[in-house]
Amino acid sequence: MTFLGMPATGPEGDDAVTAAPGARPAPAIRPAPAVPPVPDGGLDLTLLYRGPLASCDYDCPYCPFAKRRDTPGQLRADRAALDRFTGWAAGRAGTGDTLSLLFTPWGEGLVRSWYRRALVELSRMPHVRRVAIQTNLSCRTDWLAEADLATLALWVTYHPGQVGHDRFLAKCRELDRLGVRYSVGVVGRPEHLAEARRLRAALSPAVYLWINAEEGRTYTDAEAADWHALDPHFGYSRHAHPSAGRPCRTGESVLSVDGEGTARRCHFVRDVLGNLYDGSYRARLLPRECPLPVCDCHIGYVHLETLPLYEVFAGGVLERVPRGWALRGRPAPPG
């Protein structure tokens, strides 16, 4: 079976979910129950989705994410969970809700056909403002031509120890030709500095190159200046942000959702606010203060109301593209 010209199985590992002869079929996906309408109109929600997928085709030594080879059964479960989430999103059409969706898988999603399919489907839904995914861009790119590129965007990370410069840059060039909106990032390790400089020189000026401070690393001012020369917003990543008692959009307009539909305020606070599929989360959406002493991850602190990052990244919060950056390098309109 194919979808939009994409094989259901392929060389990137999609066929790993094919059931062995005689295996029991995967259980049917339970439909999401109807959710009562919200008084006074719908909600404008940002959801960070992370299903059970944990396998990755890279093995970066600095990556805190779990590393394992998912079994066929685990991959089937991940696909079923993603299909259920996509079906729930489709069901919000006509309710007044608008959705902005960021996929933050532990592993690499885009080498799996069901993530590519979901992104295409979601991008075409009129009530979805933005759909983006964090990716190493090791996947094929032809499927993006089927998406609504006014809605879909990519958060790309370059891992110099895992892929060659020329190969990675060729993938970026493919995104440019297709007209895909994306950012590219590098982890700020000393051994990555030369490659990051080389990449910045090769990328289009319209592509933002961000630098993530390496977890646990303290940067001298001179070291930070090197990274700041590549990413003018590196200062936000360099230091953890005090967050205890400070207002944050998570838990009010931003939620983290797992493969079971369990809703939490963010990936870093484990308190459960309800479930996406029974609608119980909706009554718990309230202005909230952060219960943690600090927040040191971009997908967390970007939502702190005490930081100006919704203005810095206006129009590109999920894909990490600063306001107006995509206009750089383009010819000025005739005056």
Q: What CATH number did the domain enclosing 174 receive?
A: 3.20.20
- The one-letter code for the residue type at 9 is T
Q: Does some domain include residue 26?
A: no
* pLDDT tens-digit readout, 37-76: 444 359 999 999 999 988 766 666 666 555 678 889 999 9
User: Is residue 318's pLDDT more than 80?
Assistant: yes
270 domain residue, yes or no: yes
Those residues with Cβ within 8 angstroms of residue 151's Cβ, 6 or more apart along the chain or in another chain? 122, 123, 124, 128, 129, 130, 131
As a whole number, mean pLDDT of residues 144-171 equals 94
Residue 312 has pLDDT above 90, yes or no: yes
Percent of the chain predicted with pLDDT > 90: 75
| Structural domain includes residue 197 | yes
pLDDT at 61: 67
- Domain annotation covers residue 186: yes
The mean pLDDT value for 303-318 works out to: 98
Q: Across the chain, what does the average pLDDT equal?
A: 86
Give me the domain span that covers residue 87.
42-236+251-286+307-326
pTM: 0.85
Nearest to residue 192, comparing CAs of 69, 62, 24?
62
Give the model's pLDDT for residue 306: 98
Q: How confident is the model at residue 276 (pLDDT cuts 50, 70, 90)?
A: very high
The reported pLDDT for the residue numbered 162 is: 80
Name which residue leads in pLDDT, 297 or 335.
297
Confidence of residue 26 (pLDDT cuts 50, 70, 90): very low
Q: What is the pLDDT of residues 108-129, one digit of tens each?
A: 999 999 999 999 999 999 999 9
Residues 144-157 have pLDDT tens digits of 999 999 999 999 99
Q: What percentage of residues in the chain have a pLDDT greater than 70?
A: 82
User: Residues with Cβ < 8 Å from 199, sequence gap 6 or more?
Assistant: 158, 165, 168, 169, 184, 186, 209
Q: Quick check: is 225 in a domain?
A: yes
E strands in the chain: 2-3, 6-7, 44-50, 98-103, 128-135, 152-157, 181-188, 209-213, 241-242, 247-248, 254-258, 262-266, 269-275, 288-289, 294-295
pLDDT value at residue 60: 66
Q: Which of 292, 306, 319, 289 is nearest to 155 (CA)?
A: 319
Q: What are phi and psi of 261, to 5 degrees?
A: 90, 5
The pLDDT of residue 62? 64
331 part of a folded domain: no
Q: How many helices and strands (H and E) does the chain possess?
A: 8, 15
Count of domains for the chain: 1
Q: Are 169 and 202 in contact (CB under 8 A)?
A: yes
DSSP for residue 250: B
Partner residues linked to 256 by β-bridges? 48, 264
pLDDT at 10: 38
